Structure 1
Amino acid sequence: MSYLHSIILGIIEGITEFLPISSTGHMVAASAFMGIAENDFTKAFEVIIQFGAILSVLVLYWKRFLPSWPFYKKLFVAFLPTAIIGFLLRHVVDQLLESVQVVAWSLILGGIVLVWSDKIFAHLTAVGRKTGDLTYKDCVKLGLFQSIAMIPGVSRSGATIMGGLSLGMQKKEAAEFSFFLAVPTMAAATLYKLLGIYKTIQHDQIGILACGTFVSFVVAMIAIRFFMGIVTRYGFRGFGYYRILLGVIILVLLYTGHSMTAG
């Protein structure tokens, strides 16, 4: 992996982490397209640079993260299902990350759900529950929804947002809670991956990781603002159509003999 690869993947991560279009799915597909070899470092890279995007949430929403124990308790409860399920299925998830075909089908199915959700949850644009209204039982349900996103291409933010809408949350509130829940989730994933590679990581790889993380941080700051404006005005339908189109393109490439397997 080169610095150019790191910058490109950092841009992709920053744009896609908080949009309901699957950052992991995009990075898996982009890595395969660029011919980046699959190994322990590149797999860890795709997870670790997500921490840069997570830092953008802390910067943009720092007031929400001031000492507020009820808020932290709800985040922790919502985080637990993903932490437990992710640990138990970590080897299965690593295998799925190698499948571009899984990504493609997940993009299409998730896109259909987003298009459908705009019709079903149209009334939640201006009305609905807020984060403060969530019970601990609601938080567990949101954590279970987020766990679905361990399948590459599903989208962590998209799954969490759909969970929030199903609980009657406002679209804006559901989107913001998906941002907040990303902080402990991706911090834990980053730490786990770092512990797995720190003994074998090489000096030049540290620079590549730092580069991708910084780029994802800067780009995510812009993407979050863009996303909130789009959701408030137009909902999720456009993202759904984009997912379906991208998934179909990937499948066409695969089924017409184009190799999208990293070398």
Structure 2
Amino acid sequence: MLDIIKVIILGIVEGITEWLPVSSTGHLILVGDLLKPSMSDAFMEMFNVVIQLGAIMAVVVLYFHKLNPFSPRKSQKQKMLTWQMWIKVVIASVPAALVGLPFNDLLDKLFYKPLPVAIMLIVYGVLFIIVENRNVGRRPSVNRISELTVPMLLIIGVFQMLALIPGTSRSGATIVGALLIGISREVAAEFTFFLAIPAMFGASLLKLVKFGFHFTSKELGLLMLGCVVSFGLSVVAIRFLMGYIKKHDFKIFGYYRIILGGLIVVVTVVQLLLA
């Protein structure tokens, strides 16, 4: 029963933080260290990635019409624009795929630790504040996904690639990159959601293959529970973010990241002193 409660909490953390630019990895490390479910380290490493499938399904459900090029409610032109959007997603996914497929395990081994995660939280928190201050009074040059050019897509893709370092936040990195090149907050956030579908599905599949699909009934049940909880909270988080950025900038998330990074440093130091 205790593990069920812990998994529900981890699912809530993943669902909320995956789409807000605050690093789900940073939160899962912090919360996971505090909860310490009685599962193997290998299972928990896989669990923290695979519950992203629930978060992905939230995007698919909320944006199904926009993502579906076969919708009978779309005109021929709208269907063509949907296919073009998917091509843009594929182009922007290339940099992360080129680096992530061969080096993902190495990056996790080097950086999936509290202090590197804390540093990346703080660095991108500062970047959010700097970029938003720089953009004050400036009109975005791109207000629709259809206006994204190939060079813009590759720049966004490079920032998503940088998010392979734990603690960076995939959504945080891609949004920062998009804001830097003049993309509106709404388009930056929405395109980040769509870009997550192949990235997170691929990452989850790789972790499942590495783990071997060998689950006990308890492990499978906990994994499914985590995905369901992550899905529900992701729906809430996505709706909140899209409503919030219509009237506000991203600086609040920058301040939050800096505070969280500092908290992880404090917790890590305390644990070392008590060890």
Confirm or deny that 1:195 pairs with 2:196.
Answer: no
Partner residue in 1 for 2:22 = 21
Task: Report the Cα distance in structure 1 between the residues aligned to 2:213 and 2:179, rounded to whole angstroms.
Answer: 43
Aligned to 2:42: 40
Contact 2:13–2:27 (Cα < 8 Å) also in 1: yes
Displacement over 6 Å in runs of 4+: none
- CA distance in structure 2 between the aligned counterparts of 1:60 and 1:122, rounded to whole angstroms: 31
2:164 corresponds to which of 131, 144, 150:
150
Q: CA deviation at 1:177?
A: 0.5
State the one-letter code of the partner of 2:131. S
Q: Is the 8 A contact 1:50 1:213 kept in 2?
A: yes
1:165 counterpart SS class: helix
Give the AA of the match of 1:8.
I
Aligned-partner Cα distance in 2 for 1:45–1:62: 26
Alignment of 1:128-139 (within 5 A): 128-129=141-142, 130-139=144-153
Task: Sort the Cα spacing of 1:216 and 1:96 in 2 relative to 1 into closer, same or farther, 3 A.
Answer: farther
RMSD in angstroms over aligned alpha carbons? 2.1
CA deviation vs aligned residue, 1:54-109 (integer Å, no higher than 9, x gap): 11111111122121221111111111211121112122222146411111111111
Matched, 1:55 2:57: yes
In structure 2, the residue matched to 1:107 is 121
Q: Which residue is 1:247 aligned to?
A: 261
The within-5 A match list for 1:1-263 is 2-36=3-37, 39-67=41-69, 68-96=82-110, 98-123=112-137, 127-129=140-142, 130-255=144-269, 257-259=270-272
Distance 1:185 1:90 in 2: 12
- What CA distance in whole angstroms lies between the structure 1 residues aligned with 2:245 and 2:108? 32
Q: CA deviation at 1:260?
A: 10
State how far apart, in whole Å, the 1-side matches of 2:134 and 2:241 are.
20
- Report percent identity of matched pairs: 38
Given residue 184 of structure 2, which amino acid in structure 1 is its aligned partner? Q
Amino acid of the structure 2 residue aligned with 1:258? Q
Q: Given residue 50 of structure 2, which amino acid in structure 1 is its aligned partner?
A: I
Kindly indicate whether the alpha-carbon contact (under 8 Å) linking 1:100 and 1:260 is maintained by their aligned counterparts in 2: no
Number of residue-to-residue matches in the alignment: 260
Mapped contact 2:112–2:166 kept (Cα < 8 A): no
Separation in 2 of the partners of 1:76 and 1:179? 13
Give the Cα–Cα distance (whole angstroms) in 2 for the partners of residues 61 and 73 of structure 1.
17
Whether the 8 Å contact between 1:49 and 1:216 is mirrored in structure 2 is yes
Q: TM-score, normalised on structure 1?
A: 0.92
**Relative to 1, partners in 2 of residues 1:25 and 1:142: Cα closer, same or farther, differing over 3 Å?**
same
Q: 8 Å contact 2:49–2:204 — kept in the other structure?
A: yes
Q: Say which one has the larger Rg.
A: 2
| Cα deviation digits, residues 5-62 of structure 1 (max 9, x gap) | 2111100011001111001111122111223466221111111001111111111111
In the other structure, the counterpart of 2:74 is: none
For residue 18 of structure 1, give the secondary structure of its aligned residue in structure 2.
coil
2:55 alignment partner AA: A
Shift of 1:150: 1.1
